[in-house]
Chain A
Amino acid sequence: MNYMPGTASLIEDIDKKHLVLLRDGRTLIGFLRSIDQFANLVLHQTVERIHVGKKYGDIPRGIFVVRGENVVLLGEIDLEKESDTPLQQVSIEEILEEQRVEQQTKLENEKIKVQALKDRGLSIPRADTLDEY
């Protein structure tokens, strides 16, 4: 049965493996089990995938219920092509460590930038604080 052809209704995506990108930057991969009219999602056998560079690590999370407004995008994963990736899977500890390092370097760069701007008498409000409003 062809549910609403030409639309983005998620009905036909049910029971398929999806990659969901959330507003807070997380990437979840899981089987889409249930939806509702707000595009709230129920993900099953969810795995949170952290990407750093060419490496990634999976954290098994179980069942996720995601509120629709927090989803940036989602897409079906082709199970056959899933393993066909140049990325390298590493252990959770390793990827978390890599992530931490990445965050740190980013923060440091940010600090340098802000300092440079301050020296020139400029100040740019940080993007994450803007997001709250």
Chain B
Amino acid sequence: MLGKLRGRKNGIFTKSHNEDITLIGKSLEDCPLDEDEDAFQGLGEEDEEIDQFNDDTFGSGAVDDDWQEAHERLAELEEKLPAAVNEQTGNGERDEMDLLGDHEENLAESLSKMVIENELEDPAIMRAVQTRPVLQPQPGGLNSSIWDGSEVLRRIRGPLLAQEMPTVSVLEYALPQRPPQGPEDDRDLSERALPRRSTSPIIGSPPVRAVPIGTPPKQMAVPSYNQQILCPKPVHVRPPMPPRYPAPYGERMSPNQLCNVPNSSLLGHPFPPSVPPVLSPLQRAQLLGGAQLQPGRMSPSQFARVPGFVGSPLAAMNPKLLQGRVGQMLPPAPSFRAFFSAPPPATPPPPQQHPPGPGPLVQNLRSQAPMFRADTTHLHPQHRRLLHQRQQQNRNQHRNLNGAGDRGSHRNSHQDHLRKDPYANLMLQREKDWVSKIQMMQLQSTDPYLDDFYYQNYFEKLEKLSAAEEIQGDGPKKERTKLITPQVAKLEHAYKPVQFEGSLGKLTVSSVNNPRKMIDAVVTSRSEDDETREKQVRDKRRKTLVIIEKTYSLLLDVEDYERRYLLSLEEDRPALMDERKHKICSMYDNLRGKLPGQERPSDDHFVQIMCIRKGKRMVARILPFLSTEQAADILMTTARNLPFLIKKDAQDEVLPCLLSPFSHLLYHLPSVTVTSLLQQLMNLPQSAAAPAPSNPHLTTVLQNKFGLSLLLLVLSRGEDLQSSDPAAESMENNQWMQVMFMATRELLRIPQAALAKPVSIPTNLVSLFSRYVDRQKLNLLETKLQLVQGIR
């Protein structure tokens, strides 16, 4: 009927599925409801088609249908209804019901007066409906599309989307045909009252077939209900009817959930409470009425919209009403009856079933001091009253915690707040689960270490920490809940381009899996002559950078082997080890400039790498993996070229990062190496006899933090070696001593210029120097190098 209604309105007819939706949309523009984007798009799309079969315009609807008649019937209903209600309520002052009247204010009043407590059950009313003559057509006023064709109304079957009971009942009354209502009033009425409707609550918008992925699930009160509501043919929807209220969670119903119940016990609401169990199936059917082809996929907002929508035409005319509606909340089943068993004593006298009826009850509630936050003072008075109500109800209801985690001490206060918070649980548990499900899906990964490195590392650290603490403290084990992310198996998809059988050639379709080459970039190598000096330098640097990057990847892989080793199976382990070794070798080759089968004549390659900050850091990380010889080689090269490196490092100041791996390395080096290292470091002449020229090399070294620290480390190591093996008068020792003499001589010579501050001063240097110099010089050395702590 969507199409029908729209057709009527816009003059454009669309071939829509013949869903029968009795919608009471006044007009598209007037619907104050939020709309699906999709609905809008669908709207646009469908507008282009012309529904040739649109009954209302081309078919029988145009001829047979007399909406005016139905309209008149309805108007008369209004007149009669007050009378019927009057019988019940005894309210004499019944105006002519102006349901279709022009004025919103009147409508509110009339509606409020119109609805009675058990109207649907009231046989008198039902009977009255059938015998009702045609209603007087109202001038202007409502868009009569609401009362579109008795066909539409006749087809009111199935779930009613009515939030407003009275609205629905009005519709009912407008029906020309009405089978006599027996004792199954509630059931039938509720069913009939609920029109099958599309998922979109907006008149004229096409039903949404497939819900976009982003829509939260719609709550399903009756999971077992499978029947398609959106079938083209009118279908009697009979929702199963457990007598209890559809509140499976046992928690407080959210306002959303509860406002579906058209029944309201709240003050200010024109629709008095205590509509009986009929509401349960009604509500259920209502819920289902919004169900789509994919149940559970509908957005709760749609869901909320749905009841709201039905109420919209009237609500549109009376925003107050709607507001009141929206603010409703009903207690769950157990207290439902209890709640309403309370009012009956308060409202037995029919006159009190009017809006003023719930008054005594509400007043009771109101008398309990409600607390309003300052920022709620701008609320509509009705809204405020409803807030009151809810607060009271909350106190009476079974309390359940929100999905709150363990917040420790705040929990109690938080619980309190949840109790007092009338708006809590607006987001249903189901919706939370849905969001959480999406979030978990986003965490799916084939290799969490690759995709989520920092998270994994962080939690490993935490776990180690807590494990360590447990071992120490031996206290109660803190259950640290760990997030288990879904593991997804790696699937290799071989992309196969789309092919049609029997066609020549293939489709040239470019997609994300099959990107098309847009630019044909050809690499042309330049000849050496063309390049200028600068370009050469730049190219060289770029090459170095590339080498660094490649080596770094190798390094990362090698560092990862430990973890992989632990995770792998026994058979795979040797293979892993081999891989690792291989990679380490390649790294070393990269560092030193691989020239297979050749000696390594120049340090140039290495020095180039060391000129770049990243290269230095990388070398520091690689060193632990290298064998001693390889690492010693690196160290020697560094020492040899230290002044140059120091000069290049002036800006970065990253060299000190190498100190740690170097010092580790030193402990493994034999005396010979240490000696030659010292020689290199201080640029000492080969023989002691040679005259000592000025030694800028040494100066530079001493003036640099790294250099000085390294020097001291080397000296310290030498001293350790010597002191640990005093008896051995070996070649190495002699050599060492020679070098030491030279070293001390140099050190003495060096003016005490701006010496760098070393990272750490080894303690054994004093004893070291004491071997080689006399006391006076020792003091000098001490002062110069600040070897003694006190001097600083």
Contacts and interface: CB of A to CB of B under 8 A. Distances in A.
Interface of A: 1-7, 9, 11-12, 14-16, 31, 33-37, 42, 44-45, 47, 58, 60, 62, 78-80
Given A4-B483, A15-B418, A44-B423, A37 B438 contact: yes
Nearest to B462: A6
B214 A36 contact: yes
B542 interface: no
Interface in B418-461: 418, 421, 423-427, 431-432, 435-436, 438-440, 442, 455, 459
Contacts of B426: 15, 33-34, 42, 44
Given A36-B216, A45-B376, A12 B482 contact: no
Contacts of A31: 421, 423
B410 A78 contact: yes
A58 to B, nearest CB: 7
B435 A37 contact: yes
Given A2-B405, A5-B483, A15-B418, A37 B214 contact: yes
Interface string B342-378: 0000000000000000000000000000000111111
Interface of B: 214, 216, 373-378, 402-406, 410, 413-414, 417-418, 421, 423-427, 431-432, 435-436, 438-440, 442, 455, 459, 480-483
A16 B403 CA distance: 11
A12 to B, nearest CB: 5
Nearest to A80: B413
B376 A4 contact: no
B432 A79 contact: no
A6 to B, nearest CB: 5
A15 B432 CA distance: 12
A60 B378 contact: yes
Contacts of A12: 403-405
Given A15-B421, A15-B424, A44-B423, A2 B435 contact: no
B413 A7 contact: no
Contacts of B435: 9, 11, 35-37
Contacts of B417: 79
Contacts of B440: 4
Q: Is the interface of A mostly helix, strand, loop or mixed?
A: loop
Given A3-B405, A60-B375, A11 B482 contact: no
B439 A37 contact: yes
A34 B427 contact: yes
A12 B481 CA distance: 14
A5 B402 CA distance: 16
A3 B406 CA distance: 10
A79 B375 contact: no
B482 A5 contact: yes
Nearest to B426: A33
A16 B402 CA distance: 10
Contacts of B480: 5
Nearest to A3: B436
A81 B459 CA distance: 30
A12 B378 CA distance: 29
Contacts of A3: 403, 405, 432, 436
Nearest to A33: B426
Given A9-B436, A11-B403, A36-B214, 19 more contacts: A1-B405, A3-B403, A4-B439, A5-B405, A5-B480, A5-B483, A6-B455, A11-B436, A14-B403, A14-B432, A15-B423, A33-B426, A37-B438, A37-B442, A42-B426, A44-B426, A60-B374, A60-B375, A80-B413
11 contacts: A4-B436, A5-B481, A6-B483, A15-B418, A33-B423, A34-B427, A36-B435, A45-B375, A47-B375, A60-B375, A60-B378
A42 to B, nearest CB: 8
Nearest to A6: B483
A80 B214 CA distance: 36
A37 B418 CA distance: 24
Question: Which 7 pairs, one residue from A and one from B, show the smallest C-beta to C-beta distance?
Answer: A37-B438, A60-B375, A5-B481, A34-B427, A12-B405, A33-B426, A15-B424
B378 A35 contact: no
A92 B404 CA distance: 34
B481 A2 contact: yes
Nearest to B299: A36
Contacts of B483: 4-7
Given A15-B424, A37-B435, A6 B482 contact: yes
A35 to B, nearest CB: 6
A56 to B, nearest CB: 14
Nearest to A35: B435
B431 A34 contact: yes
A59 B363 CA distance: 32
Contacts of B427: 14-15, 33-35
A106 B414 CA distance: 42
Given A3-B436, A4-B483, A45 B403 contact: no
Nearest to B417: A79
Nearest to B421: A15
B503 to A, nearest CB: 41
Nearest to A37: B438
B481 A58 contact: no
Nearest to B437: A37
A79 B413 contact: yes
A33 B426 CA distance: 6
Contacts of A80: 413
A3 B404 CA distance: 8
Nearest to A11: B432
Contacts of A14: 402-403, 427, 432
Contacts of B373: 45
Nearest to A15: B424
Nearest to A40: B214
A48 B168 CA distance: 41
A53 B577 CA distance: 63
A102 to B, nearest CB: 24
A28 to B, nearest CB: 12
A62 B481 CA distance: 37
A52 to B, nearest CB: 20
